[in-house]
Amino acid sequence: EDQVTQSPEALRLQEGESSSLNCSYTVSGLRGLFWYRQDPGKGPEFLFTLYSAGEEKEKERLKATLTKKESFLHITAPKPEDSATYLCAVQGSGNTPLVFGKGTRLSVIA
């Protein structure tokens, strides 16, 4: 059974204080690992897809990396507008539906 565990549950940062969010996963034949951002009262928005260990993707202050067991979402010099819940999901082989983690709630204080 595919599983995703995200840590920490919540993270509070000062503006400009860089940090990382963790996503540990177990999956049978990884087809893709996804990162989404969710703002309060809205649906999740797609950020990145990673396919294989060693792959990295960047978007503004966010950088996602992938190993065979976990993914990190690195946030460099965050701003208050980066405050959101960040969700990680995996899709295994056999075209199985995505399995989501419970998310990390990030607060960036000015």
Residues engaged in binding other proteins (CB under 8 A): 31-32, 34, 36, 41-46, 49, 51, 87, 89, 91, 95, 97-103
In the complex with other proteins, which residue's Cβ is closer, 31 or 76? Answer: 31
Q: How far is the CB of 7 from other proteins (least distance, A)?
A: 13
CA distances from 50 to 6, 40, 70 (A): 16, 25, 11
In the complex with other proteins, which residue's Cβ is closer, 59 or 102? Answer: 102
Q: How far is the CB of 74 from other proteins (least distance, A)?
A: 21
In the complex with other proteins, which residue's Cβ is closer, 13 or 47? Answer: 47
Q: How far is the CB of 103 from other proteins (least distance, A)?
A: 6
3-state secondary structure of 14: strand
Distance CA 24, CA 78 (A): 23
DSSP conformation class of 97: P
CA distances from 19 to 3, 29, 70 (A): 24, 29, 16
